[in-house]
Structure 1
Amino acid sequence: MKIVSTNIGERKEITYKNKKVVTGIFKFPVDEPIFLDIEEVKGDEISDREHHGGVKQAVYGYSLKHYDFWRPKYPELDWSLGMFGENLTVDDLDETKIKTGDIFKVGDAILEATVQRSPCYKLGIRFNNMKIIKQFWNTTFCGVYFKVLQIGFVKTGDEFVKIKSSPENPAIADLLIKKKKEKGI
């Protein structure tokens, strides 16, 4: 696996249901290396710290291969990497094979897979269509949140190398399925 894009989002204020909402989901590729810190990607907006960022969700990765599934469903969108709010677009990040506790070396950083991404209304805002939320729940294409065990810079082209496997733990996709059942979706 390797990083095909590093993505950063700025603070953006939008109107949703007649309320002002601040979000960082509008992420776009950057050319320079990004710094993965203990609780966040430096320079990346995290507006909702209850559900994003922090030690267990410092970095969000999403697979480039999943874009091939989504593009035909939303052909009217102006597609760019970072569309799902991910910091790292990885060529082949497979949530059905990555287990919680798996550890990866990437660039100067060391990352541990922690949890799935559970979609919220801001993904619908990004796609300009709330349908995406239910569709997202009905796939295993949830992406992976990572804990940063060793801070450092990463850049496009860096290899994503597994240095520790945790075969006894659930796959990230299994966490999404469990969460979906808990929510009754």
Structure 2
Amino acid sequence: MKLLSISSGKVMPLFGNHHPDYKSVPSGIRKTSISNLENATKIQIGNLGIQGDEQADLSVHGGLEKAIYVYPAEHYAFWNELLTRETKKPIALQYGSLGENFTIEGLLETEVFVGDKLVIGELQFAVTKLREPCFKFNAALGYKGAAKAMVQSGYSGWYLRVLKTGMVSAGEKIQLIPGPRDTSIAQQNRNLLAKRNQKDLWD
């Protein structure tokens, strides 16, 4: 298990026709890798996440309980294939393109439970919940079905609370310390899928 990339972004206008009421909304979903295997810069992580990273809507992203968004690199092939097919042009997403702060390998939603701890270098984190995509995710990827595809696939990623702050760089090994193991991120996603299907709630 390894941290492949650390990504950060500023709030900026996000344009698209992916919501009936907004042509442009402020969003911090567009992230750029600032530490990766080619350039393993040490990055400061505080209680609210990566220093300098921004979120536009703190009711759904950011804060202590959603300080870091983690996404498995293993799912990138799924998104590249889906978007290439749907947009009719070759897509090769860069790490950070799904809005994540940490792109990792070797750990998936089925293996991660709420309350588990992740130790990365000298830092410690607690797994809090899955990521629930919205219309901004559709706009960022340029595909109206992106949020629906994320929930249906179960490729949601998850949020972390920061337990121990400090500096970390890409390339660090990840250690998982199991918590109560009552609810996995995959189970949270199945619950969300059932709820959205019942309400037909696709933003």
- Per the normalisation by structure 2, the TM-score is 0.84
**Amino acid aligned to 1:81:** Y
Is 1:23–2:36 an aligned residue pair?
Answer: no
CA contact (8 A) 2:14 2:140 kept: no
Q: Percent identity?
A: 28
CA contact (8 A) 1:77 1:127 kept: no
User: Per the alignment, do residues 131 and 35 of structure 1 end up closer, same or farther by CA in structure 2, a change over 3 Å counting?
Assistant: same
State which drifts further: 166-175 or 96-105: 166-175
> Which structure 1 residue ranges, 4+ long, deviate > 6 Å from structure 2?
none
**Amino acid aligned to 2:53:** D
| 2:81 equivalent among 72, 81, 106 | 72
Structure 2, gaps ≥5 residues long: 36-40, 85-89
CA contact (8 A) 2:16 2:142 kept: no
CA contact (8 A) 2:55 2:61 kept: yes
More helix by share: 2
* Counterpart for residue 136 of structure 1: 150
Distance 1:8 1:140 in 2: 24
- Number of matched pairs: 184
**Amino acid aligned to 2:3:** I
State which drifts further: 9-18 or 68-77: 9-18
List per-residue Cα deviations over 1:142-176 (Å, max 9, x = no partner): 101001111122211011111x2125321011111
| 2:187 equivalent among 160, 174, 177 | 174
**Amino acid aligned to 2:73:** L
List per-residue Cα deviations over 1:15-51 (Å, max 9, x = no partner): 3455431111111111322222212321111111000
CA contact (8 A) 1:62 1:93 kept: no
| 2:132 equivalent among 118, 121, 129 | 118
User: Per the alignment, do residues 118 and 69 of structure 1 end up closer, same or farther by CA in structure 2, a change over 3 Å counting?
Assistant: same
CA contact (8 A) 1:57 1:145 kept: yes
- Per the normalisation by structure 1, the TM-score is 0.92
User: Per the alignment, do residues 19 and 4 of structure 1 end up closer, same or farther by CA in structure 2, a change over 3 Å counting?
Assistant: same
| Structure of higher CA gyration radius | 2
SS at match of 1:182: helix
CA contact (8 A) 1:36 1:59 kept: no
* Counterpart for residue 3 of structure 2: 3
Distance 2:53 2:181 in 1: 33
**Amino acid aligned to 2:26:** V
Is 1:48–2:48 an aligned residue pair?
Answer: no
Structure 1, gaps ≥5 residues long: none
List per-residue Cα deviations over 1:108-157 (Å, max 9, x = no partner): 31001110001111111111111111111101211010011111222110
| 2:45 equivalent among 36, 42, 57 | 36
